[in-house]
Amino acid sequence: MTKIRRIKGSPGAPYEVVFVDQQGHLLVALTEWYRIRSGQGPTSTRDTYLACLLSFFAFLSEKGCAWNAAPEQLRPVLIDFYRERLGCLIRPDRGRERIEVLPTRDTPLQESTLQVLRSALRDFYLSMRDERLYVFPNPLTSETLMHLKCLHEQAIVNAGAPDHAGIRGETHERSRRLPTAFIRYPKAREWVPDLRKELADVRTGIHAVLDAMMESPSLSCREKIILELLRNTGARLHELVLLTVGGYRNQGIAGQAQVVSKGSLGREIKTIYFVHHPRVMQLLAHYLEHVRPGWDTQGRRRLDGLESEEPLFLTERGTPYSVKSFYYHWYKHAPRFRSLCPVTFSPHDIRHLFITEFLIMLRQACGAGTDHFDPERYQREREAFGSTIMGWQSAHTIDVYDHSRDGEQTLHVLAMMQHHLAERCYLHLPNSDEASLALSQANIAPPEGQPAHSVEDETIWLPDAETLAWIKEMQQHHERGTKKEGW
């Protein structure tokens, strides 16, 4: 779809990659954006945004529209891009100051990918404006809505007061979320954890799979470290895979590391803790002393001889380890142990497992289920867990996981109910001696004119205690009737 080629730059050149169109013309803006983005945020985000921008730039070339045209010229092309290339339904909203994009069955992208596409376009024009390469307002932002937002913030009672003062008309977070984007997607359903994966049998199964993978001799030490860190820290996969030497050294503090978290713009500001798990420490020590030196292209064996920005994890070729490389090994080894868990799970589900089990243990520590439960302590410590351990910016993110505890209990009660019902269910029992005995004790003959059915291939009622008591009562009733006829 893109019809755009990328040419790798020579070593030492100012541009790592150069992009050209199908006529061989240099795409200056895309090349410059790629250079700028190389120093901002993780590489994975830049590559994801690039995949979105390639399709958009190819569409601009087809329409003969310049990327740096005025917003009133770019926006009709942007609408055509969503309508023609992505098969979306476009609706004007708020007096045509913005549009609403609705995916259809012809849209080749998922709703989450459409969100990423909008973020990529917005990021591109923000970067171009910051570099003074685009002189117009951001075409992805409505100037009218931006002005209305400013007027609204000025009209709020005690607009400058902080939230904790309790005198501001609305929270700063709500004011910040007032819409200003030109492209709007319908509000998606709020994400909630999969309750099935939070039940005790699934949690036990996930641990069983991870334990089996840790004991597998075919899985390398590097992957075992990542899996144990996922299970013990609740970090995101990319935070662990892209761990740097400087982040691991962490100014000499053992048992914790600094990682690049989501939204940190490439800064190592999140701390992960693993000091109380000796297995993790042993695996890391073995990897750094015996495995990594063999993969280092320079053969360096001491950690203090490495630069802080160098990757801690390497491939066997000496290149930086990546999320894609981890998934290759995951899909190679994990399916062998799939039978140990009742559901299929992903590496990201290990993060949810960590959060779920922490909240369960925290509830127990605060006296849940007893007369001494301390709700204030529980509320205080779970918020500290969200900000300190998980690194969430919002204190309300933990609510999504905590509310799922009630749903988990509901599913647990449902499971108990179904176990009880399973004792009374209809069963297909061919050649069942117990079923034949129950029918003979009932002494119930088929009606005249109808052939007797064979017990084989017949659906019968499982004779539980209540059914057998009923059969016995029917038999006694039949015997009393026989005695009366004898009289």
What CATH number corresponds to the domain at position 225? 1.10.443.10
* Same domain membership, residue 312 and residue 223: yes
- For residue 207, the model assigns a pLDDT of 95
* Same domain membership, residue 438 and residue 349: no
Instruction: Give the total number of structural domains in the chain.
Output: 3
- For residue 412, the model assigns a pLDDT of 67
Tell me the pLDDT tens digit for each residue of 260-276.
Answer: 887 777 788 899 999 88
Q: Which of 106-115, 186-195, 321-330, 476-485 has the lowest mean pLDDT?
A: 476-485
> Which of the four pLDDT bands, split at 50, 70 and 90, describes residue 94?
low
Q: Is residue 164 part of a domain?
A: no
Domain boundary among 312, 332, 355: 355
Question: For residue 1, is pLDDT > 50?
Answer: no
Contact 413, 449 (CB under 8 A): no
Distance CA 65, CA 300 (A): 52
Arithmetic mean of pLDDT, 472-477: 73
Other CB atoms within 10 Å distance of the CB of residue 144: 15
Arithmetic mean of pLDDT, 441-450: 50
* Same domain membership, residue 236 and residue 126: no
Main-chain phi, psi angles of 215, to 5 degrees? -90, -10
b/e per residue 399-420 (b: at least 16 CB within 10 A)? eebbebbeebeeeeeeeeeeee
* DSSP-derived 3-state class of residue 482: helix
Q: Is residue 172 part of a domain?
A: no
> Which of the four pLDDT bands, split at 50, 70 and 90, describes residue 169?
confident
The percentage of residues in the chain with a pLDDT greater than 70, rounded to a whole number, is 84
Q: Please tell me which residue, 426 or 250, carries the higher pLDDT value.
A: 250
Residue numbers of the domain that contains 145: 5-151+180-184
- Residue 196: name the closest of 209, 185, 183, 205 by CA: 205
| Predicted TM-score (pTM) of this structure | 0.62
Q: Which residue has the tokens 């009133």?
A: 72
Arithmetic mean of pLDDT, 364-382: 87
Contact 111, 12 (CB under 8 A): no
* Same domain membership, residue 220 and residue 301: yes
Contact 146, 137 (CB under 8 A): no
* Same domain membership, residue 14 and residue 123: yes
Arithmetic mean of pLDDT, 119-143: 90
What radius of gyration do the chain's Cα atoms show?
Answer: 32
Max avg pLDDT among 78-82, 177-181, 417-421, 448-452: 78-82
Q: Please tell me which residue, 274 or 394, carries the higher pLDDT value.
A: 274
Tell me the pLDDT tens digit for each residue of 407-435.
Answer: 656 766 777 787 777 776 554 545 545 54
> Which of the four pLDDT bands, split at 50, 70 and 90, describes residue 187?
low
Segment 356-361 long-range contacts (CB within 8 Å, at least 24 positions apart): 356/193, 356/198, 356/203, 356/401, 356/404, 357/203, 358/234, 358/385, 358/389, 359/401, 359/402, 359/405, 360/405
- For residue 336, the model assigns a pLDDT of 93
Angle between helical axes of 71-80 and 43-63 (0-180°, round to 10): 90
Q: Which residues contact 272 (CB under 8 A, 6 or more apart)?
A: 229, 233, 235, 239, 240, 256, 257, 259
- For residue 123, the model assigns a pLDDT of 92
* Same domain membership, residue 339 and residue 218: yes
Question: For residue 469, is pLDDT > 90?
Answer: no
Arithmetic mean of pLDDT, 340-356: 93
* DSSP-derived 3-state class of residue 89: strand
- For residue 173, the model assigns a pLDDT of 74
Q: Please tell me which residue, 248 or 148, carries the higher pLDDT value.
A: 248
- For residue 444, the model assigns a pLDDT of 47
- For residue 456, the model assigns a pLDDT of 47
- For residue 434, the model assigns a pLDDT of 53
Distances 273 to 80, 233, 287 between C-alpha atoms, Å:
49, 6, 18
Q: Is residue 438 part of a domain?
A: yes
Q: Please tell me which residue, 13 or 67, carries the higher pLDDT value.
A: 67
Q: Is residue 128 part of a domain?
A: yes
- For residue 217, the model assigns a pLDDT of 93
Arithmetic mean of pLDDT, 241-245: 92
- For residue 255, the model assigns a pLDDT of 87
Arithmetic mean of pLDDT, 427-456: 50
Contact 24, 61 (CB under 8 A): no
- For residue 475, the model assigns a pLDDT of 74
User: What is the amino acid identity at position 165?
Assistant: A
Arithmetic mean of pLDDT, 189-217: 86
Chain centroid offset of residue 177 CA:
23
Other CB atoms within 10 Å distance of the CB of residue 435: 18
Question: For residue 101, is pLDDT > 50?
Answer: yes
Q: What is the mean pLDDT of the chain?
A: 82
> Which of the four pLDDT bands, split at 50, 70 and 90, describes residue 439?
very low
Segment 119-126 long-range contacts (CB within 8 Å, at least 24 positions apart): 119/49, 120/48, 120/49, 120/50, 120/52, 120/53, 121/52, 121/53, 121/56, 121/78, 122/181, 123/37, 123/49, 124/29, 124/33, 124/49, 124/53
Torsion of CA 305, 311, 316, 322, to 10 degrees: 180
Domain boundary among 355, 374, 391: 355
Other CB atoms within 10 Å distance of the CB of residue 234: 23
- For residue 474, the model assigns a pLDDT of 73
Q: Is residue 394 part of a domain?
A: no
Segment 278-287 long-range contacts (CB within 8 Å, at least 24 positions apart): 279/228, 280/225, 280/228, 280/229, 280/232, 281/254, 281/255, 283/221, 283/224, 283/225, 283/228, 284/225, 284/248, 286/221, 287/221, 287/222, 287/225
Distance CA 354, CA 364 (A): 16
Q: Is residue 221 part of a domain?
A: yes
What's the residue count for the chain?
Answer: 487
- For residue 243, the model assigns a pLDDT of 93
Question: For residue 339, is pLDDT > 70?
Answer: yes
The percentage of residues in the chain with a pLDDT greater than 90, rounded to a whole number, is 33
* Same domain membership, residue 431 and residue 314: no
- For residue 37, the model assigns a pLDDT of 86
| C-alpha count within 13 angstroms, C-beta hemisphere, residue 140 | 17
* Same domain membership, residue 208 and residue 78: no
* Same domain membership, residue 306 and residue 199: yes
Q: Which residue has the tokens 């989501």?
A: 262
Q: Is residue 349 part of a domain?
A: yes
* Same domain membership, residue 242 and residue 135: no
* DSSP-derived 3-state class of residue 360: helix
* Same domain membership, residue 127 and residue 25: yes
Question: For residue 191, is pLDDT > 70?
Answer: no
Question: For residue 482, is pLDDT > 60?
Answer: no
Domain boundary among 326, 355, 384: 355
* Same domain membership, residue 65 and residue 119: yes
Chain centroid offset of residue 442 CA:
57
Q: Is residue 386 part of a domain?
A: no
Other CB atoms within 10 Å distance of the CB of residue 381: 14
Arithmetic mean of pLDDT, 361-376: 87
Tell me the pLDDT tens digit for each residue of 33-92.
Answer: 998 888 777 777 888 899 899 989 989 888 889 999 999 999 999 999 999 999 999 888
